[in-house]
Amino acid sequence: MSANDFDVVIVGGGHNGLVAACYLAKAGLKICILEKNESLGGATVSQKVFTDFDARLSRYSYLVSLLPDQIILDLGLDFEVLSRDVASFTPELVESENSGLLITTEPSEETEANFELLTGNLEEYAAWQSFYGELHQMAQAIAPTLLKPLPSRSELRAIVGQPIWNDIMEAPLGEAIERRFKSDLVRGIVLTDGLIGTFADAHDFAANRCFVYHLIGNGSGEWKVPRGGMGKLVAELTRLATELGVQIETNSQVIAIKNNSAGFEIETETGPTYQSKYVLANCAPQTLAKLAGTPMPESLDGSQVKINMLLKKLPRLKSGIDPKLAFAGTFHFDERYTDLQLAYAQSAAGYIPDLIPAEMYCHTLTDDSILSPELNAAGYQTLTMFVMHTPANLFDQNHDQVKTEIKSKVIHQLNKYLLDPIEDCLALASDGSLCIEVKSPQEIEKEIGLPRGNIFHKDLSFPFREDGEAASWGVETAIPNLFLCGAGAIRGGGVSGIPGHNAAAAVLERLKG
Ligand SMILES: Cc1cc2nc3c(=O)[nH]c(=O)nc-3n(C[C@H](O)[C@H](O)[C@H](O)COP(=O)(O)OP(=O)(O)OC[C@H]3O[C@@H](n4cnc5c(N)ncnc54)[C@H](O)[C@@H]3O)c2cc1C
């Protein structure tokens, strides 16, 4: 083998590429990762966004649910995720009074009382308990299948059971939500899990697919805070990959993948060419199509704006709730069901929605290790906001103007619920600017290569194959020995390591013959 000859070349050093590399190197294979950026991690990174301050923000992805404990155990990673006591808080006016719905992570009398206050009786709470109880059973059934070859539709249906299978997999999500819940606010909170990173109407199956992945992680669907931030995961994977002898080349953009009888030849923009028997593509399938001539997948554009903030203090709320409770879980605002549906319709028609649905959370209330001791002592906090239904096409013309308009609209909306305007709470940089950064889908594409800013590379797929389709790991492509190992694989999407694990498993299975 020459120096540039490998068993497996991995195109892209996102967390999934690193997971695949670790499994394969542990199995004794010679592995090379080619990453186009200066640093590894892709959408899973911590960065000092505001250079005056030692605050390492999870710049893109921020919460973890889908990463199976098994991967952490298999690879012996020093990586921990922390539960939050509060699942969510949604501010709302009740009879002209500022109030809100606080939902604790575990069932509680407080949550029950809040549902009663917000909806007038306990029916909605009972509907919530029953729906999420069934979803928990669905999660328990699906989670153990995620690191195995794809089950068929009938196999998965048999283990998930009815009626939840039909509600989630066979009928538009909006039908189940409208049948099971009456409150516009509660319906909206449920629907958001179908729309994070997915531009869809409640009656579009894209929302069902997105909903599934938001509810099944580790058999509970609980979204947890990564201790040390997202970059900690990539730092651990990089440490292990390096110890296992994986060759990692950054600033190495792959420009072509050619296959011949001997295997693959991988060309980079900087010059060196690499040879391998197998190629794993951690880049998006759309990128792979350009590099290797595989079919170009159809996909929705990304539809979110990400806002990162560093604060001197948390704002107080008009409802009077303690900010440490309100911002510890997901703080939903203007995400009522009718808000979401109207915002979708307006964006789909090419307009910035009148009311832009958004949600955010404070990392540092659960894990202050991302701030320096000095910032912690001074009471600094972070907020990360995910703004929905702002698809890439809105920004195609007048990018900067649209970005400014969306930012000011969302800030104005948020301030409606706050006693202290958010601007008064933001940290000030030495040049006098406020510590807030806004990322459009186009900027996300430019920085980390997510096509049109789609956070899952491309639209998600249900976690099964159709009956009669050939057995697979969900990572295969039209070219033998070339596998997807990133978010664009079936059961990819999110910070999960699942497609990385499954691509490695597919290679090892082929090698066994
Ligand atoms: C704003 C935002 C918020 C999100 N929030 C969450 C969240 O809270 N929780 C969650 O689970 N998920 C979240 N996601 C989604 C999640 O981050 C991604 O789905 C996941 O990180 C994808 O990981 P990956 O390793 O498959 O791909 P990526 O992270 O996209 O990595 C792919 C790598 O390939 C490299 N690459 C691309 N093309 C080439 C080439 N030609 N040559 C060499 N290298 C190349 C890229 O530079 C990149 O490093 C979010 C994403 C975004 C953008």
State the SS3 of 421-462.
CHHHHECECCCCCECEEEECHHHHHHHHCCHHHCCCCCCCCC
Q: Residue for token digits 């948020």?
A: 414
Output the pLDDT for position 341: 98
Cα 492 to averaged position of ligand 1 atoms, centre (Å) = 11
How many Å apart are CA 167 and CA 225, to the nearest integer?
29
Q: What is the mean pLDDT of residues 477-503?
A: 97
Average of per-residue pLDDT across 66-85: 98
Mean pLDDT for 322-339 is 97
What is the rounded distance in angstroms from the CA atom of residue 118 to the CA atom of residue 448?
Answer: 41
Spatial contact of 19 and 10, defined as CB atoms under 8 Å apart:
no
The arithmetic mean of pLDDT across residues 372-386, rounded, is 98
pLDDT at site 161: 97
Report the share of the chain in percent with pLDDT over 90: 96
Residue 7 Cβ contacting ligand 1 at under 6 Å: no
CA distance 485 to 32: 14
**Dist CA 84 CA 88 (whole Å):** 10
For position 96, what pLDDT does the model report?
Answer: 81
The percent of the chain in helix, strand and coil, each rounded to the nearest 5, is: 40, 20, 40
Determine whether the shortest distance from the Cβ of 282 to ligand 1 is under 6 A.
Answer: yes
**Can you give the pLDDT at residue 122?**
95
Task: Give helix 205-215 / helix 123-142 axis angle, nearest 10°.
Answer: 80
Q: Which two tokens stand for residue 149?
A: 């070859």
Which ligand 1 atom is the nearest neighbour of the CA of 37? 47
Token readout for 366 is: 């659960």
pLDDT of residue 192: 98
DSSP 235: H
Ligand 1 centroid from CA 93, angstroms: 38
Distance 215 CA to ligand 1 centre (A): 20
CB 235 within 8 A of CB 224: no
Q: What does the block give as tokens for 358?
A: 């958004």
450 Cα–ligand 1 center, Å: 7
Give the atom of ligand 1 at the shortest distance from the alpha carbon of 291.
41
Amino acid identity, residue 464?
A: F
List all residues 6 or more positions away from 435 whose beta carbon is below 8 Å from its beta carbon: 49, 50, 53, 309, 310, 311, 426, 427, 428, 429
Query: For residue 97, what pLDDT band results from cuts at 50, 70 and 90?
Result: confident
- Reading the block at residue 40, the tokens are 């590894």
52 phi-psi bin (left φ>0, alpha ψ -120 to 50, beta other): alpha
> What integer best gives the mean pLDDT of the chain?
97
Query: Facing residues of 48 across strands?
Result: 56
What does the block give as tokens for 373? 């001791």
Any idea which residue has 């459009």 for tokens? 440
Please state, in angstroms and rounded to a whole number, the distance separating the CA atoms of residues 85 and 106: 7
The predicted pLDDT at position 251 comes to 97
Atom of ligand 1 nearest to the CA of 15: 25
CB 495 within 8 A of CB 292: no
Helices (H), 302-398: 323-326, 337-348, 373-377
For the stretch 115-147, pLDDT in tens is 999 999 999 999 999 999 999 999 999 999 999
Express each pLDDT in 232-264 by its tens digit.
999 999 999 999 999 999 999 999 999 988 899
Integer CA distances (angstroms), 7 to 29, 331, 458, 473, 475, in order: 6, 47, 28, 20, 18
Structure tokens at 152: 């068929």
Interval between CA 267 and ligand 1 midpoint (Å): 22
Which residue CA neighbors atom 7 of ligand 1 most closely? 61
Query: 282, 444, 456, 490: which to mutate for ligand 1, most atoms within 8 A of CB?
Result: 282
How would you classify the pairing of strands 330-333 and 358-361? antiparallel
CB 303 less than 6 A from any atom of ligand 1? no
Average pLDDT over residues 460-483: 97
Domain residue ranges of the chain, discontinuous segments joined by + = 5-44+227-300+456-512, 128-217
What does the pLDDT look like over 272-328, one tens digit per residue? 999 999 999 999 999 999 999 998 999 999 999 999 999 999 999 999 999 999 999
Q: Which ligand 1 atom minimizes the distance to the CA of 306?
A: 1
User: Which is the closest atom of ligand 1 to the Cα of 34?
Assistant: 43
Identify the residue whose tokens are 């994070």.
196
495 lines ligand 1 (CB under 6 A): yes
CATH superfamily of 5-44+227-300+456-512: FAD/NAD(P)-binding domain (3.50.50.60)
Per DSSP bridges, beta strands 5-11 and 273-281 are: parallel
Three-state DSSP state, 333: strand
Model pLDDT, residue 3: 79
Whole-number Å distance, alpha carbon 487 to ligand 1 midpoint, is 7
Query: According to the model, what pLDDT value does residue 513 have?
Result: 81
Expressed in angstroms and rounded, the spacing between residue 214 Cα and the centre of ligand 1 is 17
Cα-to-centroid distance, 294 and ligand 1 (Å) = 20
Q: Please tell me if the CB atom of residue 214 comes closer than 6 angstroms to any atom of ligand 1.
A: no
Arithmetic mean of pLDDT, 452-463: 97
Residue 167: how many other CB atoms lie within 10 Å:
21
497 Cβ below 6 A of ligand 1:
no
- Average pLDDT of span 63-85: 98
Question: For position 230, what pLDDT does the model report?
Answer: 98
Q: Show the beta-strand stretches assigned E in 169-253.
A: 225-226, 247-249
Answer for the pair 64, 83: CB distance below 8 angstroms, yes or no: no
| CB 44 near ligand 1, within 6 Å | yes
Return all residues near 465 (Cβ < 8 A) that are at least 6 apart.
150, 151, 152, 153, 471, 472, 474, 490
DSSP 8-state class, residue 475: -
The DSSP code sequence of 123-192 is: HHHHHHHHHHHHHHHHHHHHGGGTTSSPPBHHHHHHHH-TTHHIIIIIS-HHHHHHHH---HHHHHHHHH
pLDDT, residue 93, reads 86
Mutate to test the pocket of ligand 1, among 210, 267, 455, 482 (most ligand atoms within 8 A of CB): 455
Mean pLDDT of 186-192: 98
Q: Which two tokens stand for residue 342?
A: 């109207």
Which residue CA neighbors atom 1 of ligand 1 most closely?
A: 60
Kindly state if the Cβ of 458 falls inside 6 Å of ligand 1: no
Tell me, in angstroms, the distance from the centre of ligand 1 to residue 123's CA. 40
Confidence of residue 1 (pLDDT cuts 50, 70, 90): low
Q: Is 11 in the pocket of ligand 1 (CB under 6 A)?
A: yes
For residue 2, pLDDT over 90 is answered with no
Query: Which residue from 390, 496, 484 is spatially nearest to 444, judged by alpha carbons?
Result: 390
Q: Give the distance, in angstroms, between the CA of residue 469 and the centroid of all CA atoms in the same chain.
A: 28
The pTM of this model reads 0.97
Q: State the helix-helix crossing angle for 173-180 and 205-215, rounded to 10 degrees.
A: 70
- Residue 64 pLDDT > 90, yes or no? yes
- Ligand 1 atom 6: the closest Cα is on which residue? 61
Closest Cα to atom 5, ligand 1: which residue? 61
Counting ligand 1 atoms within 8 A of each CB, the residue from 61, 224, 232, 443 with the most, and so the one to mutate, is 61
User: CB of 488 closer than 6 A to ligand 1?
Assistant: no
CB of 36 within 6 A of ligand 1: the answer is: yes
Q: Is the CB of 448 under 6 A from ligand 1?
A: yes
